[in-house]
C-alpha cells in the first residue's frame, strides 16, 4: 500500500470509500462507457450504451435491452481484486465504516464487505414488475425462463426487471440517504476508480466535512485541488495490503 495512504488510514477511525467503474475494471469487467464500449454498442446496435440502458428504451425495446444487458453488464466469473479485498479487511478491522459504489457487480460483498451502498443497484437482484417476486441473476440468464428474449415471472408471467438504476430513473432514496449519512460522519473519505463526473453520485463529495480526502484514479478529476492526497495510479496497486 502507498505509504502516504497508509499513514492517513492509520490515523483514521471512520473511513468511507466511494468507488466507480475503475474498481471493477481491474476485475476484468469492462466499462460500458469507455471508448471501446461505445464503439461496440454503436457497431452492433447502432445506438449508444446510455440510450440502451435508459428506462424508455427498456420499455419500448425490452428484447434488445436484455440482449445488450446480458452481454455487456453481467460478468458472473469476475472475482474481487486487491482493492475489494483491502476494503473488506479495513471494515473487518473497524476502520472502514461504509463502501459506497456506483458499480452493480456485487464484488464488494463477494470480497466480504458488509455495509455497502449500491447507488446504481445490482445485477444480482431482479424482480417481477407485476407481483414483485424476487429472482437471482442465474434465473434471468437462463433462456428457458425467457419469452422472446425477455425474462418472465414463473408466478404471474410478468416481465422480470434487473434491480439496477437505468438512465432516466431516480436513485433509491434510502440508499442515497444512507450514503450521505456515512459520508457526513466520516473523518476520512477515499474516492477511487471514478472520474467524478457522473451525477448525482459525484455530488456526494460535497457532504464530506472530515479531515482527509484521498483521490485515487488513473486520470485527473475535477476535485483534485480539494484533496489532501491525489494518487494517479491503479487502485488495486495503491490499496494492495499483501
Cβ neighbors of 205 (< 8 A, separation 6 or more) are 18, 183, 189, 191, 196, 213, 223, 226
Tell me the whole-structure pTM to 2 decimals. Answer: 0.94
pLDDT surpassing 90 at residue 97: yes
Q: How many other β-carbons are positioned within 10 Å of the β-carbon of residue 212?
A: 20
Contacts of 61 (CB under 8 A, 6+ apart): 52
pLDDT of residue 144: 97
| 69: confidence class by pLDDT, cuts 50, 70, 90 | very high
Distance separating alpha carbons of residues 125 and 139, to the nearest angstrom: 10
* 61 part of the active site: no
Lookup: cell for 5: 495512504
**Rounded alpha-carbon distances, angstroms, from residue 150 to 65, 101, 123, 132, 240:** 9, 28, 15, 16, 41
**pLDDT at residue 136 above 80?**
yes
| Each residue's pLDDT tens digit, 163-179 | 999 999 999 999 999 99
Q: What is the mean pLDDT of residues 143-159?
A: 97
Peptide bond into 200 cis (omega under 30): yes
Per-residue pLDDT of 221-239, as tens digits, reads 999 999 999 999 999 999 9
Fill in the DSSP letter of residue 182. Answer: H
Q: Is the pLDDT of residue 107 over 80?
A: yes
Give SS3 for 190: strand
**Domains of the chain listed by start with CATH number:** 1-28+81-120+171-242 (3.40.50.1220), 30-74 (no CATH), 124-164 (3.30.1600.10)
Q: What is the arithmetic mean of pLDDT over 73-100?
A: 96
C-alpha cell recorded at residue 147: 419469452
The pLDDT value recorded for residue 242 is: 66
For 222, other C-beta atoms within 10 Å of its C-beta total: 11
If you average pLDDT over every residue of the chain, what do you get?
94
Split at pLDDT 50, 70, 90, the class of 68 is: very high
Catalytic residue among 55, 61, 84, 120: 120
What pLDDT score was predicted for residue 203?
87
- Mean pLDDT of the region 90-114: 97
Higher pLDDT, 66 or 31: 66
Percent of the chain with pLDDT over 70: 99
Instruction: Return phi, psi of residue 225, to 5°.
Output: -70, -20
Question: How far is it, in rounded angstroms, from Cα 73 to Cα 100?
Answer: 19
Amino acid at each position: 500500500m502507498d505509504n502516504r495512504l497508509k499513514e492517513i488510514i492509520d490515523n483514521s477511525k471512520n473511513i468511507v470509500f466511494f468507488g466507480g467503474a475503475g474498481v471493477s475494471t481491474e476485475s476484468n469487467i469492462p466499462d460500458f462507457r469507455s471508448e471501446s464500449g461505445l464503439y461496440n454498442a454503436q457497431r452492433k446496435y447502432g445506438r449508444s450504451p446510455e440510450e440502451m440502458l435508459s428506462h424508455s428504451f427498456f420499455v419500448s425495446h425490452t428484447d434488445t435491452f436484455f440482449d445488450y444487458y446480458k452481454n455487456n453488464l453481467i460478468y458472473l466469473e469476475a472475482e474481487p481484486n486487491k482493492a475489494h479485498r483491502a476494503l473488506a479487511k479495513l471494515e473487518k478491522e473497524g476502520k472502514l465504516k461504509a463502501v459506497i459504489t456506483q458499480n452493480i457487480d456485487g464484488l464488494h460483498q463477494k470480497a466480504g464487505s458488509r455495509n455497502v451502498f449500491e447507488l446504481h443497484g445490482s445485477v444480482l437482484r431482479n424482480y417481477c414488475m407485476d407481483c414483485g417476486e424476487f429472482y437471482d441473476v442465474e434465473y434471468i440468464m437462463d433462456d428457458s425462463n425467457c419469452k422472446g428474449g425477455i425474462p418472465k415471472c414463473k408466478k404471474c408471467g410478468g416481465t422480470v426487471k434487473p434491480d439496477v438504476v437505468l438512465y432516466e430513473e431516480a436513485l433509491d432514496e434510502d440508499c442515497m440517504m444512507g450514503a450521505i449519512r456515512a459520508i457526513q460522519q466520516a473523518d476520512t473519505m477515499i474516492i477511487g476508480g471514478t472520474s467524478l463526473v457522473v451525477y448525482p453520485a459525484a455530488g456526494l463529495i460535497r457532504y464530506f466535512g472530515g479531515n482527509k480526502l484521498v483521490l485515487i484514479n488513473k486520470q485527473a478529476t475535477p476535485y483534485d485541488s480539494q484533496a489532501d492526497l491525489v494518487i494517479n495510479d491503479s487502485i488495486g496497486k495503491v490499496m494492495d495490503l499483501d
